[in-house]
Amino acid sequence: MKINEVIEGVRPGYATQDNDVTTKYAAIAFLLNDHASKMDSSNDEALQRQLMINQVAASIEQLNTVSGPKSLEDIAKAGKTNVKTVKVLLKFGNDLYDKHGDIRQGNDAPDDADNEFDDGPSDDEIARQADARAAKRR
């Protein structure tokens, strides 16, 4: 068993960067939360709609985790709504994703495939260089 498997079992939400699909759904959840935060919440009905979107988005973000939803019904139950509404929100979130892409920043953002340290020497090469410098000083 790898340490990541243990950590993912302990920390819900940790697996949102596992693969392209869960990364996309985590980004969609972020976009839905962002959209809900900008909605008008002047009356109780609008506030309930905003809360429902936030709950559905939170459930979507938990996909591919131990405690996450396993079906659309689970997502609907978490948002206290129906499967049809979840499908509409997923389509809307997907449209937002197609339009804006992954806008998450900070800890929510996926790891970059391009690492600034990839071009440098490996740890073994650095160790060899350090050993050679130390040998020259003696």
- Which tens digits make up the pLDDT trace of 6-20? 444 434 444 445 577
Structural domain count, the chain: 1
End-to-end CA distance of the chain: 45
pLDDT exceeds 90 at position 52 = yes
Q: Which of 25-29, 61-65, 71-75, 80-84 has the lowest mean pLDDT?
A: 61-65
pTM of the model: 0.63
Side chain identity at residue 138, one-letter code? R
Structural domain harbouring 110:
3-137
To which residue do tokens 């996450």 refer? 68
Contact 99, 69 (CB under 8 A): no
